[in-house]
Structure 1
């Protein structure tokens, strides 16, 4: 899917693709990990029940920032299980620090195994997180960097 200019408003779109390794062993490991929340848990987040992702499942992801605990309620929107492409997307639920969606897809290109990360983000509609949105954008950049290293 390609985001057209203006279609994402008021959301900020971000996407990246990273080679995480090569070969069948890397593919098997990364495909299994991404479908069990590994991209999140290996990036420093805690997932309430890190079993296989399931469409429609609602759960809470937790981030710790020093003495602060940030709870992120989410709902899994879609799960992809194809021979050379696996992953999932989730959307933020009320109470999440931001509005939007995020997707993590592991796929093959020849011998390379890649991780694609896509997100649409906007300030929370209301609540205490709304004024913190500029700081949350910085935190997202740091989290995306960790995601890109998580499955290597």
Structure 2
């Protein structure tokens, strides 16, 4: 199975996102300190951020690595297949991106990155580019964007909770 878009890896390192897609880039301060960063990094790399959204997530491996398959579903209805494109697992930055596979209602890529800055503040960034692939996603247009916006806000909330738990 192959990716459904040609710009594989375009969410890495803050590069310009490809044209012809809807873009999302949200960066929020979610906590402070190394313990908070490590908790958020682990939550990202073990797909806890997606599970925190209420999605049922199945993966070919328990931890993000290039080539790991990730299939999400909500209430067992919609099957959303992706594959991990790249992974960061550094001292002060951690995260991954996954890209869409055939059967996904959208085409594109989404990344989740935690960063510990020089003041030990923890930042969480979600970057994505996507466009409709399935007829129902095209038909849903503005509604699909609203759902993506709500999901992005929820990802931030989940990451913030992970950071808060670690800081206690």
Cross-structure match for 1:60: 71
- Quote the offset at 1:127 in angstroms: 4.2
- Quote the offset at 1:130 in angstroms: 2.9
Within the candidate set 119, 125, 144, 1:116 is matched to 125
Structure 1 runs not aligned, ≥5 long: none
Which structure shows the bigger proportion of residues in strand conformation? Answer: 1
Deviation per CA, 1:73-93, whole angstroms, max 9, x where unpaired? 101100111110000000111
Within the candidate set 125, 134, 149, 1:141 is matched to 149
Higher relative contact order (CA 8 A, sep 6+): 2
Which structure shows the bigger proportion of residues in helix conformation? Answer: 2
TM-score in terms of structure 2 length: 0.80
Cross-structure match for 1:90: 98
How well do the aligned residues superpose, as a CA RMSD in angstroms? 1.7
Aligned residues: 145
Structure 2 runs not aligned, ≥5 long: 1-13, 161-168
Cross-structure match for 1:18: 28
TM-score in terms of structure 1 length: 0.88
C-alpha separation in 1, matches of 2:68 and 2:57 = 12
Instruction: Note the 1:35-74 alignment, pairs <5 A.
Output: 35-49=45-59, 51-64=62-75, 69-74=77-82
Q: Does residue 34 in structure 1 map to residue 44 in structure 2?
A: yes
Cross-structure match for 1:9: 19
